[in-house]
Structure 1
């Protein structure tokens, strides 16, 4: 199920926190003014830090900080002596979040009906406990049904996504296989192993070759068949160290043919790479091309 960030709940929980951070401006000298100053500063920084670390990149783009501050200001400026009004606000916020949660999955609740029935029930002079339990039970039954509907829709959406991804992966895999055959046809020095890994020896080094228990230091650039670079130790300006067994099968197989000073180009089909799974910016079913230089074998 989707998770909802409860902004006011987060802020409320943080009021009791002790951490604070000074700003560049001088704090007021009186106790009450200093308390107000640091309450605002410390909680503002902590809530901002919470949002920064808990939101995805897409959520950050959609988040309206001005709207958040308007809501916060409306609450903070409310006459704190009107406790009944505040309780109504909190109850309304809680119910509104339930309604919004359902609406995200196309279960639309008429808010006017919710308010009208809430107000009518709330103003009841006498409450029959048995009747109330029946009403609560009916609500719970309906909510359980809503949860089932949401799960079914989510499962159907995920199944459709997997089906679409499988189709894309199959298409990418076919394109990759054709690409490797084109490279082999154009360059007779490209060889193919029994597993399907294609490779070109640019330079063969000297010394022992890595084994499954070896750690290597390499410089590499990984590309898609359209030339897009998805990872490069060369661009980062620092060689990479890793155990041979902690990389994709095709890359590991290629490494074990390389001794110190070797330079290879590896053409790794999807079956020896990430298969039908996406991996960061690498689409499902992708054939990968690695330019690799072996620096050390340990």
Structure 2
């Protein structure tokens, strides 16, 4: 987050402009702006203008209510990274003051000072969190250097586990009778990937949607392993770090991680 107070996404800002355009601002004497009066009177001529934009939304049965709620949702999504620093009641108070044309409690100079101080605080917090995470990942990487090879050394002696020349280990869960893909093919698969401690980091099963991969675009352990499978098969793979994400890791996968994959080969995509 380069500026912690740059909260609103473009859609939020556009929505707010539309919302403000539909409002009826008043001056300090309580008199509505003449141009706004004309627009409001024109809009009031038909009941259709108060009809909901989308039917069947409980509790939001007018256009204004639906637009307001939509803007609120967009703002909340934009503000989520700093939600713990926000008092919703004070936020609503500030918006109401601005909409009403009142003098806000914070002037422009103070607003800039608060923004700068808050941005610096958030950046320092993010830097500390990043440093702590880097330290944790480095420690995990050192641990994986020992635990991964030890696991594979024990695992290769288990019934049904086979080890290739590269060090990839696999077990046939269900044998298929279709063709085997080449390393340049695109395949459709269902799969589940976990760390050795059982932590799931990816799963097409969880998405209820098979995935398609080019075998020349995935980690070497996947490319080699799936090429061993006839269509219709289900295999379990144990992939050494050097055939996976290596010393750097990637995303939720820590450095030097040995990976376990359950893979079903559905078809070779033509």
Does TM, normalized by the shorter one, top 0.5? yes
Cα 1:59–1:172 change in 2 (3 A) is: farther
Q: How does 1:1-298 map to 2 (within 5 A)?
A: 2-6=2-6, 14=14, 17-18=17-18, 31-32=39-40, 42=67, 45-46=70-71, 48-52=73-77, 54-55=78-79, 58-60=81-83, 63-77=86-100, 79=102, 89-104=107-122, 154=127, 161-185=133-157, 187-277=158-248, 279-298=250-269
Residue 289 of structure 1, CA deviation? 0.9
Residue 201 of structure 1, CA deviation? 2.5
State the partner residue of 1:82. none
- Alpha-carbon distance between aligned partners in 2 of 1:9 and 1:246, rounded to the nearest angstrom: 34
- Alpha-carbon distance between aligned partners in 2 of 1:67 and 1:11, rounded to the nearest angstrom: 23
Cα 1:60–1:216 change in 2 (3 A) is: farther
More helix by share: 1
- Alpha-carbon distance between aligned partners in 1 of 2:70 and 2:112, rounded to the nearest angstrom: 24
Q: TM-score, normalised by structure 1?
A: 0.62
- Alpha-carbon distance between aligned partners in 1 of 2:90 and 2:106, rounded to the nearest angstrom: 21
User: Number of aligned pairs?
Assistant: 237
Residue 254 of structure 1, CA deviation? 0.4
Unaligned runs of 5+ in 1: 23-28, 80-84, 107-149
Unaligned runs of 5+ in 2: 23-36, 45-49, 51-62
Cα 1:70–1:270 change in 2 (3 A) is: farther
Cα 1:75–1:238 change in 2 (3 A) is: closer
Q: TM-score, normalised by structure 2?
A: 0.67
- Alpha-carbon distance between aligned partners in 2 of 1:201 and 1:170, rounded to the nearest angstrom: 31
Residue 47 of structure 1, CA deviation? 6.0
